[in-house]
Chains A and B, each alone.
Chain A
Amino acid sequence: MTDTSATARNFISALPHSHALGMQLEAIGAGQATIAMPYDPALVGDPETGVIHGGAVSALMDTACGAAVMSHPQAGISTATLDLRIDYMRPATPGQTIRTRAECHHVTRSVAFVRAVATDDDESRPVAMATGAFTVERKG
Chain B
Amino acid sequence: MRPPPEPVHVVKQRREALLRSLVEGVPYIRFLGVQFDRRGDELTAVLPFKDSLIGNPRLPALHGGATAAFLEIAAMIELSWSTLWEGVEADGALPEGPLRLPKTIDFTVDYLRSGLPRDAYARARVNRSGRRYASVHVEAWQDNRSRLFAQATGHFLMPPAAPK
Contact = CB atoms under 8 A, between A and B. Distances in A.
B16 interface: no
B108 A85 contact: yes
B109 A84 contact: yes
Contact of B64 (A16, A42, A66): A66
A62 B25 CA distance: 26
Contacts of B57: 14-16
A62 B55 CA distance: 10
Interface of B: 25-32, 51-58, 61-66, 68-70, 72-73, 98-101, 103-111, 114
A81 B109 contact: yes
A89 to B, nearest CB: 9
What 9 pairs between A and B have smallest CB-CB spacing?
A59-B65, A55-B69, A17-B63, A53-B28, A58-B68, A62-B65, A81-B64, A20-B52, A85-B108
A63 B65 contact: yes
Given A54-B72, A55-B32, A58-B65, A16 B51 contact: yes
Interface string A7-51: 000000011111111000000000000000000011111111000
B13 to A, nearest CB: 23
A86 B106 contact: yes
Q: Which applies to chain B's interface (DSSP): helix, strand, loop or mixed?
A: mixed
Interface residues of A, number: 39
- Of B63, B65, B99, which is in contact with the most chain A CB atoms at under 10 Å from its CB? B65
A39 to B, nearest CB: 12
Contacts of B72: 53-55, 58
B106 to A, nearest CB: 5
B105 A87 contact: yes
Contact of B56 (A15, A20, A54, A88): A15
A135 to B, nearest CB: 9
A46 B101 contact: yes
Given A80-B114, A81-B111, A17 B26 contact: no
Contacts of A42: 27-28, 30-31
A49 B142 CA distance: 33
Contacts of A17: 52-55, 62-63, 65-66
Nearest to B62: A17
Contact of A80 (B30, B100, B107, B111): B111
A84 B64 contact: yes
A88 B108 CA distance: 11
Contact of B69 (A46, A53, A80): A53
